[in-house]
Structure 1
């Protein structure tokens, strides 16, 4: 049997000759990536890299040809050359956002980080780090790099001799440090020292990226602590002193600005003398951009109170005030902003003024640039807060004119800051007078109230409120119809606007004329609604309501049902009854113009002229006066005799004006000029005028307050129908008599003197009105079911105790005007309680 022929060894003729393939189709080259030959794969990667470098369109085409997945697979190849060429191609493709999205989806980060190892070629390291820097801008990629221990590998390569690798690694780290996870990771790897060492690099791009990364790191408190521990702050200050690094000083200052937020950093620089060097650098910097950033860094540090103290010890105010006069506007603006922070301290405010800082700020305010005006106004606001001397300096250096002009600036923030300055100046009486002498000041502030900007509205109202402390300003506001603008601000949805408007109205309401106008414009109703709201009420609106009610006691009695002894009833007071839910408070003029109806009569107090009437002198004998009076015989005998004694006559000679309550006068208020008195006048009440004159003549001779109260009570009772049996109250008819008066007057408003038949609330009102005219301490309280009563304060007579005269405190009594006129009942007695309730 023949032997089996052994397999022949391939001859040269059976080998495939090398093929030089030329193709213009990228699709063909992409197919070559699936070759089993390393040389073909390497050539294909190289060709695709060149194609991708040409345009964004080419990179998108390769993405659509599914080139990314096989390239990523070749990053895991055992062949170094293939890994290098694949990394080269992917780095070019990764500049396209869609490619980066696919790389994240394919979990490429761990593969790329593996190429950063020391045994890889420099090309693989460079291109892998470049791809990572392209992808690190996305948050998901940042987390993947951190979780794959990429931070450690990147830090290791910072010491690479290859500049491109250093640049790519530090750029990637810079992007990672934007988030706190990256900052924590670099601290764990002790990578901050490596970053600081890059400041000595011979490549500016590496230095710049290192500074940017350190700036991101310094945003974190723990990282700032680490930077202090490794001496990074002193290194930065030394870096600033190197003039050859001038184009990088801005980046260094940004990092230093973050670090100086910590008091510990500032103290460290002060202790090492670096802070002095920094201030000197700030003064001597030749680049305006660098100087501006240096000032901004110091100003940012000055936001902290302890830092302000340290900077004050370093005479920072001298540096800042000097830079206010810089020819470069941006530097002067930065200095003004820093002064704003420093001026938070009263000590620094004084130093700024001593260093001519106020005059420098006024000069800055005079510049045309809006940025300069805004910064100067902000600094002046801080320097004049609670500093009367600085306020005076602003005026003395001509700043008031520029402040007033700024109120009409087109930029709302400038208007707002100018209004704040004016509000500060107005706290000083002399400055306030200077402001009021400028004719346009109030008008411009009123115009700000119509602004669409809430900050401008609020600041304008605040400045106006500061001026309204003076009656002259309130008169001007009234003359310019500005009260309505303030009332309208109460409807604002902005809390600060409502607060400022409430404060301004509380000052306006000190004038009775304006208080009545506020009520007529609906201000009372709005304030009442705000104070009843749980979400919109504030101390400012409550203050405005209280001041308004104190100076418009008609509204106060309507709303609260009480008038205290200090609430003096003057001419023009009217009682519209109890406040009902949803009811609006109407002015007396509106009520007088209403048609007569069946509603409760509005009781009016209006004596008119303060001159005695002829009827008063003949009150007891002249029947034509229509004044019902109390016969002397109705008083106790001993009291009648006491009025005829000579000793009492000497007291009677005392001027009647001395018995009137202080501050109560029927003359127009100082702020109410004659030409401001409205054309419409409420009806006069000659009967009440006669009551006043009669009471003044009769009560003056009486020795004690108790005697005066008893006489006044009896008088009031007699004018209102006399004593009434308690059982007859319900049958006591008074409606018909008052209805007849309403018909005669053709008005629902009835003067109190015309009421001849009255019950509790008629008598109590008349008693209070007369008591106020003769300085008897009396309150008025409204009850239910037409009840009302008066509480008077009667001093007790002094007694002799153990040979010493002892003065006992006064006692409060409820005055009976119905059942036993003149009877005084202790306020808390059962007798008084029965009188007050049905």
Structure 2
């Protein structure tokens, strides 16, 4: 056997595989190549995808469907720089498509892009990485991801990139980010304002406009605005405004200027650097209406504080604004009116505008077809005429009040509110007030009183109060049907609306007929509820209630049970008995129409001479049926009361004061059944007597003169009526259980004698048991008379 010989191992072939040129004829093939381990293939595949995607959105969507997105997102972190660059190019181009962008939102690619922007110095990667983020940053969730992944620092750094595309993309991303307040603050703290301001010098308008838009957002932050000012940003903006070659940037620049003028401290600093002067010059030299309008809006922004208004006044801003009224453009006139309205809070400016003829120009704006101009003009006039009689007269002389009355019927609530405010201001001048009323103002105010807009209601109710200061104006409001909606406003839970409505009711209630109508609409009951509320009651509501009751003594007596000596009973007064809180007190007309019932009668006072009326009645057709109103009037006729008044005047005229009261008391007692002893009071047939009168009249309402058997409440009412008619003074007080009495003030003895009291004393007049007896108030006898 021979020995085994060990086989020598075969050495591997040292020949390399000959390079195979790869040709991808379809997108699907190229997408497959994105998974290749070969760097050269990856480079060419990414390059091919970039070229294919750059041809249009259809190609981008096709690549998305073939699954190109995820491998590309992985390749942007490849070790090979060329692979990374080409992958960024392909990804950046594809991300500009909406469908691709939505798909990218689901892939956590943002941290990878931000990381490469921070580390790479390749301009191409910067360009396409920022292009990708620019597309994604429109979405809120992506903006949050960019911010949370510390994306602002590299983006701020890239603002200084030598490549304009990188600058454009970076500022676009920053613009999207700073729409959120957190990013605005962070951008300023990271020192982003200086490199951003440098972009204003760019040769590319798109970069300049994006920069101005970004500055507009950033300068809404107070601290950022201060940093912007410290970097002389305002001066750079004014330089742009004064450069006619940059007219396409003026609109955006003015929006940033407006933010810079947000507080008086900033305005003061800008003023010291002649910034306001340069702004005024720009307003006058610009010949583009939309730019002029924007510039005037900046002035309006400045005029929001008293200090700034003074600075503008010192710069003769009134003259600038008045000159702008000659511009035909509606937008410029609208902005000018808004600026006039703002400056009119400065008292010297009000007079300056009048002297420069601005009021006539603003009045002309009232007739414009533009709602915006009409609204601005009415606001300007409202502010100009506030506490300024001369301006009110200037508006009147320009015929503005007539147009303002017409504008109370506008559909735009702001115009109506401003018109009502202006008319209210002007109504403080008597001659103007009369002219306003002559143009149908009360009728025009009817619809605004029904408005649901709070400011319209505030201004309208105030206007009503200022116009309704004479009887004719109140009668016109009553005829127009304005009382019902006015009373309804007393239900408002808005403090200022309620107070103004109460003020208007207070003014209108000085007229008796108006007060009665408002009571019919429930004003008293509503005000009772208001005055019981801790949160709603006020001095206005108390005054309104007092005014209503003082002009409607019947309601006052029913509610309060007391008439003062200054409350003079007149025709139409009626006693319907004590009313409960919240209970609506029916009018005399309503009570007269009720069918006969078992309740206590309503006692009415009517001193009117009916002779003429009777003659007129004879001339009527006797066959004509009697209307309810005629029946009610017939019941109200009270010849007996007229005779008593005449007798009272004749019998007490020459007597001394004390004797007058005694004689009047005896006259009342005789007219109502004579003296009745206390112990015989229960035998006095007053109830049966009143029932007989009610049955005879077929009415629950009884004229007081027909009562021949009356007790305390009837006699006290008659005494008050006769006293008021003869010039004597006394109160009327309701007690419990049909008790009522009169209280008078008399000197206890002869005040001319030494030792007699010079202070009058209060007495209760006995009309029931010892007629004419004067019972000192609070004595046992007086208390016995007042109570059971």
Alpha-carbon distance in 1 for matches of 2:41, 2:735 = 107
Q: Deviations over 1:772-799 (max 9, x none)?
A: 2233332223233323333333356686
1:475 Cα deviation (Å)? 2.7
| 1:61/1:285 CA distance change after superposition, 3 Å | same
* 2:687 equivalent to 1:684: no
Task: Find the aligned partners of 1:98 and 1:815 in 2 and give their Cα distance.
Answer: 99
Match of 1:625 in 2: none
What RMSD in Å do the two structures reach over aligned CA positions?
3.2
Say whether 1:764 aligns with 2:716.
Answer: yes
Q: Which residue of 2 aligns with 1:720?
A: 672
Aligned counterpart, 1:69:
70
Structure 2 counterpart of 1:10: 13
Contact 2:35 2:71 (8 Å CA) reproduced: yes
Shift in CA distance, 581/539, structure 1 to aligned 2, threshold 3 Å: closer
- Contact 2:261 2:267 survives alignment (8 Å): yes
Q: CA deviation at 1:175?
A: 1.8
SS at 2:117 equivalent: coil
CA contact (8 A) 2:118 2:154 kept: yes
Matched, 1:284 2:285: yes
Q: 1:699 aligns with which of 652, 670, 674?
A: 652
Whether 2:529 is the aligned partner of 1:577: answer no
**CA 1:689–1:33 in 2, change beyond 3 Å: closer, same or farther?**
same
- Distance of 1:566 and 1:260 partners within structure 2: 60
1:446-467 deviation per Cα after TM superposition (whole angstroms, max 9, x unaligned): 3544667665566445434332
Matches of 1:238 and 1:514, distance apart in 2 = 65
Change (3 A) 1:259 1:819: farther
Deviations 1:407-445 (A, max 9, x none): 44454433433232222211111111222333x433333
CA distance in 2, matches of 1:90, 1:142: 18
CA drift at 1:553: 1.4
- 1:812 alignment partner in structure 2: 762
Cross-structure match for 2:39: 38
Structure-2 residue corresponding to 1:672: none
Over 3 Å counting, the alpha-carbon distance change for 1:779 and 1:34 in structure 2 is: farther
1:324·1:333 contact (CA, 8 Å) conserved in 2?
no
The correspondence of residues 246-261 of structure 1 with structure 2, limited to 5 A, is 246-261=247-262
Match of 2:693 in 1: 741
The 5 Å alignment of 1:89-104 reads: 89-96=90-97, 99-104=100-105
Distance 1:516 1:39, change over 3 A: same
- 1:309 Cα offset (Å): 1.5
Say if 1:834 and 1:177 are closer, same or farther in 2 by CA, change over 3 A.
farther
Distance between the aligned counterparts of 1:681 and 1:316, measured in 2? 72
Aligned to 1:199: 200
CA displacement at 1:255 relative to structure 2:
0.8
Q: Name 1:339's counterpart in structure 2.
A: 340
Deviation digits for residues 258-300 of structure 1 (CA, Å, limit 9, x no counterpart): 1111111110121111211111111111211111111001111
Q: Distance in 1 between matches of 2:152 and 2:74?
A: 23
Deviations 1:333-374 (A, max 9, x none): 111101111112222212211221111212333434333222
CA 1:4 to 1:714, structure 2 compared with 1: closer, same or farther past 3 Å? farther
Q: Do structure 1's residue 709 and structure 2's residue 661 form an aligned pair?
A: yes
Give secondary structure in 1 for the equivalent of 2:166: helix
Matched, 1:178 2:179: yes
Task: Name the CA distance, whole Å, in 1 between partners of 2:313 and 2:399.
Answer: 28
Q: How does 1:128-527 map to 2 (within 5 A)?
A: 128-409=129-410, 411-438=412-439, 440-449=440-449, 456=456, 459-487=459-487, 501-527=501-527
Find the residue that maps to 1:76 and give its secondary structure. Answer: coil
Quote the Cα distance in structure 2 between the aligned partners of 1:808 and 1:797.
9
What is the CA–CA distance in structure 1 between the aligned matches of 2:481 and 2:120, rounded to whole Å? Answer: 85
CA distance in 2, matches of 1:304, 1:579: 54
Give the match's secondary structure for 2:669.
helix
Q: Report deviation, 1:828.
A: 4.8
Residue 118 of structure 1: how far off its partner (Å)? 5.4
Q: How does 1:749-788 map to 2 (within 5 A)?
A: 749-788=701-740
**By how many angstroms is 1:47 displaced?**
3.6
Would you say 1:793 and 2:745 are equivalent positions?
Answer: yes
CA distance in 2 between counterparts of 1:396 and 1:261 reads: 37
Distance 1:834 1:149, change over 3 A: farther
CA separation in 2, counterparts of 1:678 and 1:181? 80
1:750, distance to aligned residue in structure 2 (A): 0.9
TM-superposed CA distance for 1:57, in Å, is 5.4
* Residues in 1 aligned to 2:174 and 2:604: alpha-carbon distance in whole angstroms: 83
Of the structure 1 ranges 420-429 and 569-578, higher mean CA displacement relative to structure 2 is found in 420-429
CA distance in 2, matches of 1:546, 1:234: 63
Partner residue in 1 for 2:618 = none
My pick for the range that moved more, 141-150 or 787-796, is 787-796
Secondary structure (helix, strand or coil) at the match of 1:21 reads coil
Q: Deviations over 1:582-623 (max 9, x none)?
A: 643222122122221101100101111399xxxxxxxxxxxx
The CA deviation at 1:577 is: 1.0
Once residues 661 and 87 of structure 2 are traced to their aligned partners in structure 1, the CA distance between those partners, rounded to angstroms, is: 110
Offset at 1:550? 1.8
Within 1, Cα distance between the matches of 2:684 and 2:46? 115
How many Å separate the matches in 1 of 2:540 and 2:722?
Answer: 34
CA distance in 2, matches of 1:724, 1:491: 49
Secondary structure at the aligned position of 1:116 is classed as: helix
Structure 2 equivalent of residue 24 of structure 1: 26
In structure 2, relative to structure 1, the CA distance for the partners of 1:8 and 1:559 (3 Å cut) is: farther
Q: Give unpaired runs (5+ residues) of structure 2.
A: 612-629
Partners of 1:679 and 1:575 in 2: CA distance:
16
1:404 and 1:103, CA in 2 relative to 1: closer, same or farther beyond 3 A? same
> Could you say if the C-alpha distance between residues 765 and 234 of structure 1 is closer, same or farther in structure 2, counting changes exceeding 3 Å?
same
Please state how far the C-alpha of 1:391 moved relative to its aligned partner.
0.6
SS in 1 for 2:744: strand
Q: Contact (CA 8 Å) 2:635, 2:697: kept in 1 or not?
A: no
Equivalent residue for 1:626? none
Counting matched residue pairs gives 768
For the residues of structure 2 that align with 1:396 and 1:726, how far apart are their CA atoms?
A: 74
Task: Decide whether aligned partners of structure 1 residues 251 and 745 sit closer, same or farther in structure 2, where only a CA change above 3 A counts.
Answer: same
The structural deviation recorded for 1:218 is 1.1
Contact 1:510 1:547 in 2 (8 A): yes
Cα–Cα, structure 1 residues 578 and 287, in superposed 2: closer, same or farther, change >3 Å? same
Once the two structures are superposed, residues 14-44 of structure 1 have per-residue CA deviations (whole angstroms, 9 ceiling, x without a partner) of 6164142334354x44333322222333333
Give the C-alpha shift of residue 576 in structure 1: 0.8
2:624 corresponds to: none
Kept after mapping to 1: 8 A contact 2:172/2:210? yes
Are the counterparts in 1 of residues 199 and 208 from structure 2 also a CA contact under 8 Å? yes
Deviates further, 28-37 or 291-300: 28-37
Q: What is the match of residue 603 of structure 2? A: 603
Residues 67, 475 of structure 1: alpha-carbon distance in 2 compared, 3 angstrom cutoff: same
Q: Could you say which residue in structure 1 is the equivalent of 2:621?
A: none
Secondary structure at 1:778 match in 2: coil
Q: Distance in 1 between matches of 2:553 and 2:80?
A: 98
Distance in 2, Cα, partners of 1:828 & 1:284:
86
Residues 39/756 of structure 1: CA separation in 2 closer, same or farther (3 Å cut): farther
What's the TM-score once normalised by structure 2's chain length?
A: 0.89
Worse overlay, 762-771 or 743-752: 762-771
C-alpha distance in structure 1 between counterparts of 2:779 and 2:10, whole Å? 137
Indicate the larger mover: 50-59 or 361-370. Answer: 50-59
State the alpha-carbon separation in 2 of the partners of residues 329 and 475 from structure 1.
Answer: 41
For residues 52-91 of structure 1, the aligned pairs below 5 Å read: 52-56=53-57, 59-60=60-61, 62-91=63-92
For normalisation by structure 1, the TM-score amounts to: 0.84
